[in-house]
Amino acid sequence: MWPPARPSWWRGHALVAWVTRAASPGLPRPPHGRTLRAAGESWGLSRHYSSAERKEKVDMSRFPVENIRNFSIIAHVDHGKSTLADRLLELTGTIDKTKNNKQVLDKLQVERERGITVKAQTASLFYNHEGKQYLLNLIDTPGHVDFSYEVSRSLSACQGVLLVVDANEGIQAQTVANFFLAFEAQLSVIPVINKIDLKNADPERVEKQIEKVFDIPSDECIKISAKIGTNVESILQAVIERIPPPNAHRKNPLRALVFDSTFDQYRGVVANVALFDGVVSKGDKIVSAHTQKAYEVNEVGVLNPNEQPAHKLYAGQVGYLIAGMKDVTEAQIGDTLYLHKQPVEPLPGFKSAKPMVFAGMYPVDQSEYNNLKSAIEKLTLNDSSVTVHRDSSLALGAGWRLGFLGLLHMEVFNQRLEQEYNASVILTTPTVPYKAVLSSSKLIKEYREKEITIINPAEFPDKSKVSEYLEPVVLGTIITPDEYTGKIMMLCQARRAVQKNMVFIDQNRVMLKYLLPLNEIVVDFYDSLKSLSSGYASFDYEDAGYQTAELVKMDILLNGNIVEELITIVHKDKAHTIGKTICERLKDSLPRQLFEIAIQAAIGSKIIARETVKAYRKNVLAKCYGGDITRKMKLLKRQAEGKKKLRKVGNVEVPKDAFIKVLKAPSDK
Ligand code: GTP
């Protein structure tokens, strides 16, 4: 019976939405020299990709709605989504088949360096099936929980998904989460069991898991090896046969949903659009439903997977559109574009992402404020799940408080700022959004509400003014071989978690459900889980509201001066352990200086932990006496360069990466 009834352990995902992303025009091309190949000369595509030939336009009128299929590839991290996408691009002739095609759709430098997908990415494939030409819009999505907003947005552009499961690892936590995202969006699900070439592959066991957990008959599973290409063609046939075409109409007035955007320095905003109705072409006058501003369309096209201009885009198709939007604020993700004088009911758009972690971001040098502002604006256009509020601090100057979906998301955003915009920033300790119910009438008047959300630990209200504090909680799913269950339960207990459910998904795999305080998992829970299960356990979570908690604000001081980056809110029972650990880690990360440094953790005026960094006696330069001027100059130069990477807290010089090291080191000792 399809769709299956929801199992009792499932609590629904709240996220809704869709999408994909344009080939980032300003970014370096992937190292492998790939070429574009036409699926037949008749499509008007050039065989080899070059900027001149790219300008040859594709005729998209050849793809009526009934010949279009829009689908996403979803899976747990590393189960092979991007590798499968490579094979599908090759099979359809979208890219040449070469040994160098490795995760071709992972175009960002950060994706290639980390080997993970962080942005959903579209490619339009042309495929001949039983004498008919089809347009298959494929969206490769990220697998990590921190990027699930990309998945949920992608799904609203699709009528179906390929749910890829590793034949060796079986169903994992993100497989479950992603399946239910697709299920709730009422999409057709094609289960694909990948990596059947592996020595330990057990596709039959995985088939049974799929049947048990998702209620999908095992004969619907397609078994493949994306790496070697075994049986991949049958996926294309299944996409055509099992996924319905979009419900869109060419004759209706234009209704185009902006589902993603990038900013190009020369061309302005490049909007990724999905046409729910109508037709759009160069020269059309279009209006943004959000701003009511009108624009003239300069270029439309499809992602193939690079930009390929087209004469027109038609209902049901997915592509890009450039219309002279020069300001990043003009392109709103979720906006509806329509033809001037033919207004339409705007599409529902997307629910905004709910940040799980907040951190302050400041320029290393205040003179860089405007450049950093512009970089953040452009990057958030491409990553709409990041929220930005202006913020300022006495010690760090003017900056912002940014909301992320998790710590990996924060790291990736920071890395993208550095790599794509050459921006260098100071990040403060990430915090989860706590709440306080105020009792002080003066404060209630000031905030104009009784319950406030605290996203900046420096603004944590004193206990005397609060009737209760609340902390965010999540419902976590852990899937593990049963031999690790005991250790995992102990870890969860240490993280103040409450067990909600435990089911066997096959003879030796267990699925555990826990209610966990978000602050207990945000930094290193996943790492601890991985290390105590030898890498076998997987974890995913969803928002589950708030619970009362005894919270305190903890300061870290260097020679009596508060380190703004390290102010943190902690549970009362954990304050001492956390304070001690931070002091110890900071001691390890601080270089010795010419005087002694006292590192202290304090709650209010009470010191709860202390470490000392002894003074460094020798002066390196003192040795360079007399004629050794060159060496002295070199040392001075090196010192000056080093200082650029330092931040001063009082008289103490702190290397910029010291705080990151403090925050990232594992705490489950
Ligand atoms: P994320 O985007 O980070 O979630 O990963 P992904 O799901 O896109 O997985 P990816 O395609 O990056 O593959 C992960 C690893 O599995 C890579 O090392 C691939 O080479 C390998 N892999 C993918 N498919 C197969 C397969 O069929 N057989 C084998 N043996 N390895 C595979």
With bands split at pLDDT 50, 70 and 90, how would you rate the model's confidence at 21?
very low
Cβ 225 under 6 angstroms from ligand 1: yes
Q: Does 7 fall in a domain?
A: no
Q: Does 55 fall in a domain?
A: no
Tell me, yes or no, whether 394 and 312 share the same domain: no
State the average pLDDT over residues 24-52: 32
Cβ 203 under 6 angstroms from ligand 1: no
Task: For residue range 380-412, list pLDDT tens digits in order.
Answer: 887 888 999 898 877 778 999 999 988 888 988
Residue 102 vs residue 641, higher pLDDT: 102
Task: For residue range 655-669, list pLDDT tens digits in order.
Answer: 766 766 676 544 433
State the average pLDDT over residues 615-636: 59
- What is the Cα–Cα distance from 588 to 288, expressed in whole angstroms? 54
What CATH number has the domain bearing residue 306? 2.40.30.10
**Token digits of residue 80:** 């092979």
Q: Give percent of the chain with pLDDT exceeding 90.
A: 45
Tell me, yes or no, whether 456 and 598 share the same domain: no
Range name among 1-5, 362-366, 470-474 with the lowest pLDDT average: 1-5
Distance 69 CA to ligand 1 centre (A): 24
- Domain boundary (308, 339, 370) is at 339
Best residue among 148, 227, 235, 412 to mutate for probing ligand 1, ranked by most atoms within 8 Å of CB: 227
pLDDT at 39 over 60: no
End-to-end, the C-alpha distance of the chain in Å comes to 48
Cβ 77 under 6 angstroms from ligand 1: yes
Tell me, yes or no, whether 512 and 655 share the same domain: no
Tell me, yes or no, whether 107 and 166 share the same domain: yes
Distance 329 CA to ligand 1 centre (A): 36
Tell me, yes or no, whether 397 and 466 share the same domain: no
Distance 650 CA to ligand 1 centre (A): 49
Range name among 14-28, 213-227, 239-253, 284-298 with the lowest pLDDT average: 14-28
**Token digits of residue 154:** 């992608």
State the average pLDDT over residues 495-505: 93
- Smallest CA separation from ligand 1 atom 2, residue: 117
Tell me, yes or no, whether 375 and 332 share the same domain: no
Q: Does 2 fall in a domain?
A: no
With bands split at pLDDT 50, 70 and 90, how would you rate the model's confidence at 378?
confident
Tell me, yes or no, whether 21 and 67 share the same domain: no
Task: For residue range 245-281, list pLDDT tens digits in order.
Answer: 999 999 999 999 988 888 887 888 898 899 999 999 9
- What is the Cα–Cα distance from 574 to 579, expressed in whole angstroms? 8
Judged by DSSP in three states, 622 sits in helix
8 A C-beta contact, residue 312 and residue 339:
no
Q: Does 347 fall in a domain?
A: no
Token look-up 């512009």 returns 374
- The pLDDT score that the predictor gives to residue 669 is 35
Q: Please name the residues in contact with 337: beta carbons below 8 A apart, sequence gap of 6 or more.
A: 254, 256, 257, 258, 271, 273, 280, 286, 287, 288, 289, 321
Domain count across the chain:
6
Q: Does 348 fall in a domain?
A: no
Tell me, yes or no, whether 414 and 297 share the same domain: no
Tell me, yes or no, whether 639 and 583 share the same domain: yes
Task: For residue range 100-138, list pLDDT tens digits in order.
Answer: 666 666 667 777 777 777 778 888 999 999 999 999 999
Range name among 273-287, 370-384, 522-536 with the lowest pLDDT average: 522-536
Range name among 139-148, 300-309, 315-324, 366-375 with the lowest pLDDT average: 139-148
Tell me, yes or no, whether 523 and 606 share the same domain: no
Task: For residue range 410-445, list pLDDT tens digits in order.
Answer: 988 988 898 888 888 888 878 899 999 999 888 888
- What is the Cα–Cα distance from 447 to 452, expressed in whole angstroms? 8
Range name among 142-156, 204-218, 351-365, 561-575 with the lowest pLDDT average: 142-156
**Token digits of residue 459:** 């603004």
State the average pLDDT over residues 23-49: 31
| Domain with 380 in it | 357-422
Closest atom of ligand 1 to 230 CA is: 27
Q: Does 248 fall in a domain?
A: no
What CATH number has the domain bearing residue 482? 3.30.70.240
- The pLDDT score that the predictor gives to residue 530 is 85
8 A C-beta contact, residue 474 and residue 508:
no
Q: Does 497 fall in a domain?
A: yes
Token look-up 């499509």 returns 43
Q: Does 392 fall in a domain?
A: yes
How many helices (H) and strands (E) the chain has is answered by 16, 33
Tell me, yes or no, whether 219 and 271 share the same domain: no
With bands split at pLDDT 50, 70 and 90, how would you rate the model's confidence at 632?
low
pLDDT at 186 over 50: yes
pLDDT at 349 over 80: no
Q: What is the largest CA-CA distance in the chain?
A: 89
pLDDT at 642 over 90: no
Tell me, yes or no, whether 487 and 383 share the same domain: no
8 A C-beta contact, residue 340 and residue 285:
yes
pTM of the model: 0.75
Mean pLDDT of the chain: 82
- Domain boundary (422, 450, 465) is at 422
User: How many other CB atoms are found less than 10 A from the CB of residue 592?
Assistant: 13
pLDDT at 490 over 90: yes
What CATH number has the domain bearing residue 69? 3.40.50.300
pLDDT at 342 over 70: yes
